[in-house]
Every structure is written in structure tokens, then in C-alpha cells.
């Protein structure tokens, strides 16, 4: 299996995978860190860090993707994965459900997408039926929809084929004319920079693969059922998304440390903000960074500090991200504790507490970096305690703009009369049955909930 990697997890994943998989099209830093040759060959699977640095996408040949998913799921207990319903290159028959200023929202069946107006030559209106292709997929925890286009292309690595538009010139394109493989009629090749280092055999293999994908797409479009709207026509490659929790990031630190100097919390810090990457690299280049995660230094440099506003990023085991609200940081302790206060609006009630939500209520939430739970205390405007809700979750990470974790369903509540109850065990059991939460992760959640229940 040939694997191409990019992003902040690349060194760790290269070390993790290189004994059993061939790493190809390696970046310059990887070639410097590893004493071996990396071929410029086509990749069966590509692993890219997501834009928010919370995890990775794994996309490529179906069997290879599933094998890598199985391996990466074992990085740590809080590594979670989900199928991508709209992987790169997938072709759908969709229905336009809404037109916005810059593009149209398109119903794809199991998910939706966004078609920018500059990626179609036709006028688009609500109710239109369109054949669209996924140009840029999005992880399930993102609030963005997959980006769509109406022109077709293959999701290639060394080379991609485009249904419209000419090929890119240059020496590589001229050499490609010598290959024994040609693209289908009407398709033009566009060679990547990595192809500059590839030999003719690798280029021929890459072009042949993309030719087969183009023919697969054309056949599926020709045989499409006009009543299958909205619906998937063909997906030339498969995709999955993996989210790395705090334990996962520290496990990847340990793997990376076998290759090069790696400070405690390397991936945790880089995942928090893009601006931290250079600082982490600088520290690792000039000194021994020590064995303890420098929470105080990291938050003093990048936030959050007292007075800052942070979101509560409440991940769900099915991959969705729900922002519970935004609050002000009222206290920060160097030991890893941050207190966040939110002013509540009227309406509804507090989950499982059975207490109405009243205007003027204050929710005080205490987050501790790395802890598997956090409490929220609700008080009335006069200071009367209205109840406590303890959320059990994957280890908390306190990033500059948001606190992040994945909810593990089971929780413990303490009502205003002092009654303590454990709730939502059945939701956790259902998540295990659905394959969203591993049994080992669920057992950890149950043990945490039991400890909290006893303590309260």
C-alpha cells in the first residue's frame, strides 16, 4: 500500500505506518528526518490533516482506506472515525434547495453540499436538478458543507484528469506524451509538482488509474436512473474522517519522539492554533522542551486568558459538532483549570435537571485540561443554586477559541434538592451498538460516571 501524508501529524504517522506501508511523495522535512528513500509513486491512500487540525481525512482505494482506518483507530481510546458520505470526486444528482449570495445549497440525498456560482456556467434556481461533483469534502464536525462543482475531474494525486480545460504545459507534460497510456477522449491531464520526480513507470501507472476512474464516472453517468434524485451516482474513491482526542495527540507525540525532538503536547498545541506551529518548531529546535505539557505557558501565549470569550465545542459520537454556547473566561489557573461563565436566556429547561431556564441565570462551567468530565453549576440571578450537570466526555482540550471534547452520553446530575442521578446510559449503549463508540471507551465513560455519582 502506498500512502501520501501531509499536515501536522505527518511525522508521527510516517513512523507509525512506514514498516508496513510505503510512504510516497514525501515532503522535504520527512525526507530529512528519515534515513530512507521515498519514491514518487502514485498513492493508494492520501492522509491529510483537516483545516482545523483536529484530525485527518483518509481517502483512496476502498480496501486500503479501511485497512488504514482500522490501524489509526487504535492510536488511542479517544480516536473516533466516520465514513465520508461525500468523498472527493463523488458524483451526485442533486436538487437545489436554496440560493444564497455566492452559491446554491444542494441536497445530495444523505447529505448536502454547496455549489459556488463560479463553478457552473448555468443559471441556478431553487428546484433545479443538477449533476454535481464533490470538489472539496468537509469533516462531519465542520459547519461547512462539501464544496461542489459541475465540471468533472478525477481525484488524482500525481495527475488528475479534467473533463474541461487544457493540460498544464511544461517538461513533465511533454514527457507524459511519451507514455503508453492516454486519457479518454475529452479529458485532459494536469500533472502535479510531485510528478516532476516520478519515473515513466510511475507516471504511466498514475495516468492509467485516473483513466479508469474517468471511465467509471462516465459509465455511471450514462447509466444513471433519472428518478434517483437526489442520490449518489458514483464515488471513484472512498473516504473516512478521523478525529484525534487529547490522548490520541499525546500518543502521536510519543511516536514522533522516536524520530525527532518532540515537546510534550506537540500535537495538542499545534491543533489549538495555526500560529503555534512556528513556536513549537522553534522550541524543539533550540532546547530540550521537557516532559510536562506547558499549559500555563501555552495559554499565556495563545489564550484563553481571563476576559476572553471561548466556545464550548460539544462533539457528538456520530461526528457532529454542537456549540453549546460561548462564555467569558472568569478564571484561569496554571494547573490547567479554566472557568467559563455564560448568561442564560429564558425558555426551555436544563437537561435532566427538570428546572426551567430563567433569564438572568448564570451557568458556571469548570474545565480542567485532560479531565474526562466537567461540571456546570446553574444559579439564579440571586445566586440560588438551581442544579449541577456533570458531563462525561473524552479528555478536555482547552484551545484559544474553544474548549473541545466528544460527549460520551452518560452524565450525572444533582438537582436543587440535592438528589443525584446518573442519566443517558441507554444512549451510550446505543452508540456502542451503532459502532460510534468502542467498548473500551464506553467502559471508561461508565467508570468515570460511577466515580462522580459516588462523589456527589
> What confidence tens digit (pLDDT) does each residue in 83-92 have?
999 999 999 9
- Which string of b and e fits 184-202 if b means at least 16 CB within 10 Å? eeebbbbbbebbeebeeeb
| Separation of alpha carbons 453 and 451, rounded Å | 5
| Domain spans in the chain, listed from the N-terminal domain onward | 2-85+240-257, 91-236, 303-455
How does pLDDT run across 381-396, given as a tens digit for each residue? 888 999 999 999 999 9
pLDDT for 373 equals: 98
SS3 385: strand
Q: Which comes out higher in pLDDT, residue 304 or 286? A: 304
Q: Report how far Cα 51 is from the mean position of its chain's Cα atoms.
A: 8
Euclidean distance between the first and the last CA atom of the chain, given in angstroms as a whole number: 52
pTM as predicted: 0.93
- DSSP annotation of 153 reads B
SS3 381: coil
The pairing of strands 45-49 and 2-6 is parallel
- The reply to whether 303-455 shares the fold of 91-236 is no
Q: Report how far Cα 261 is from the mean position of its chain's Cα atoms.
A: 26
| Separation of alpha carbons 265 and 87, rounded Å | 31
- Is pLDDT at 353 greater than 90 in this prediction? no
| Separation of alpha carbons 285 and 30, rounded Å | 16
At the top level of CATH, which class does the domain 91-236 belong to?
A: mainly beta
Contacts 24+ apart (CB under 8 A), 131-135: 131/91, 131/92, 131/93, 131/94, 131/221, 131/233, 132/91, 132/92, 132/94, 132/106, 132/108, 133/89, 133/90, 133/91, 133/92, 134/86, 134/87, 134/88, 134/89, 134/90, 134/91, 134/92, 135/88
- Percentages of the chain per state (helix, strand, coil), in multiples of 5: 30, 30, 40
* Helical residues (DSSP H) of 235-342, grouped into ranges: 246-257, 266-272, 276-286, 295-302
Q: Residue 407 — very low, low, confident or very high, per pLDDT cuts 50/70/90?
A: very high
Q: Which comes out higher in pLDDT, residue 164 or 340? A: 340
Compute the radius of gyration of the chain from its Cα atoms: 25
Q: Do residues 59 and 237 make contact, with C-beta atoms less than 8 angstroms apart?
A: yes
| Separation of alpha carbons 368 and 13, rounded Å | 28
In the chain, % of residues over pLDDT 90: 82
Q: Residue 157 — very low, low, confident or very high, per pLDDT cuts 50/70/90?
A: confident
CA dihedral 353, 357, 361, 363 (to 10 degrees): 50
Q: Residue 179 — very low, low, confident or very high, per pLDDT cuts 50/70/90?
A: confident
Give the CATH number of domain 303-455. Answer: 2.40.380.10
Amino acid at each position: 500500500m502506498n500512502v501520501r501524508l501531509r499536515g501536522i501529524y505527518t511525522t508521527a504517522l510516517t513512523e507509525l505506518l512506514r514498516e508496513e506501508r510505503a510512504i510516497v511523495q514525501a515532503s522535504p522535512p520527512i525526507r530529512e528526518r528519515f534515513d530512507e528513500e521515498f519514491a514518487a509513486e502514485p498513492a493508494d491512500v492520501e492522509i491529510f490533516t483537516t483545516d482545523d487540525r483536529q484530525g485527518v481525512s483518509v481517502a483512496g482505494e476502498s480496501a486500503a482506506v479501511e485497512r488504514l482506518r482500522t490501524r489509526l483507530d487504535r492510536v488511542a481510546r479517544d480516536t473516533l472515525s466516520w465514513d465520508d458520505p461525500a468523498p472527493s470526486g463523488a458524483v451526485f444528482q442533486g436538487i437545489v434547495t436554496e440560493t444564497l449570495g455566492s452559491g446554491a445549497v444542494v441536497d445530495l440525498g444523505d447529505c448536502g453540499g454547496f455549489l459556488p456560482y463560479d463553478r457552473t456556467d448555468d443559471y441556478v434556481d431553487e428546484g433545479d436538478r443538477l449533476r454535481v461533483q464533490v470538489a472539496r469534502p468537509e469533516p462531519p464536525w465542520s459547519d461547512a458543507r462539501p464544496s461542489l462543482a459541475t465540471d468533472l475531474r478525477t481525484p488524482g494525486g500525481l495527475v488528475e484528469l479534467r473533463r474541461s480545460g487544457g493540460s498544464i504545459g511544461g517538461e513533465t507534460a511533454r514527457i507524459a506524451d511519451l507514455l503508453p497510456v492516454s486519457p479518454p477522449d475529452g479529458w485532459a491531464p494536469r500533472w502535479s509538482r510531485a510528478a516532476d520526480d516520478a519515473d515513466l513507470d510511475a507516471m504511466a501507472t498514475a495516468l492509467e488509474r485516473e483513466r479508469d476512474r474517468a471511465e467509471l464516472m462516465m459509465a455511471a453517468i450514462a447509466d444513471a436512473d433519472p428518478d434517483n434524485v437526489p442520490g449518489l451516482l458514483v464515488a471513484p474513491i472512498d473516504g473516512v474522517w478521523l478525529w484525534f482526542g487529547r490522548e490520541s495527540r499525546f500518543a502521536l507525540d510519543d511516536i514522533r519522539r522516536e524520530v525527532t525532538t518532540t515537546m510534550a503536547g506537540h500535537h495538542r498545541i499545534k491543533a489549538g492554533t495555526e500560529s503555534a506551529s512556528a513556536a513549537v518548531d522553534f522550541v524543539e529546535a533550540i532546547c530540550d522542551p521537557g516532559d510536562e505539557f506547558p499549559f500555563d505557558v501555552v495559554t499565556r501565549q495563545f489564550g484563553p486568558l481571563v476576559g476572553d470569550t471561548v466556545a464550548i465545542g460539544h462533539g457528538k459520537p456520530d461526528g457532529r459538532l454542537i456549540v453549546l454556547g460561548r462564555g467569558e473566561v472568569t478564571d484561569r489557573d496554571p494547573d490547567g483549570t479554566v472557568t467559563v461563565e455564560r448568561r442564560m436566556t429564558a425558555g426551555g429547561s436544563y437537561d435532566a435537571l427538570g428546572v426551567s431556564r430563567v433569564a438572568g441565570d448564570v451557568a458556571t462551567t469548570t474545565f480542567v485540561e485532560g479531565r474526562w468530565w466537567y461540571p456546570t453549576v446553574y444559579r439564579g440571578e440571586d445566586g440560588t443554586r438551581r442544579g449541577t450537570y456533570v458531563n462525561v466526555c473524552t479528555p478536555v482540550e482547552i484551545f484559544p477559541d474553544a474548549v473541545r471534547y466528544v460527549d460520551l452520553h452518560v452524565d450525572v446530575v444533582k438537582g436543587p434538592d440535592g438528589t443525584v442521578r446518573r442519566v443517558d446510559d441507554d444512549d451510550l449503549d446505543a452508540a456502542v451498538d451503532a459502532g460510534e463508540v468502542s467498548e473500551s471507551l464506553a467502559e471508561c465513560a461508565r467508570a468515570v460516571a460511577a466515580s462522580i455519582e459516588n462523589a456527589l
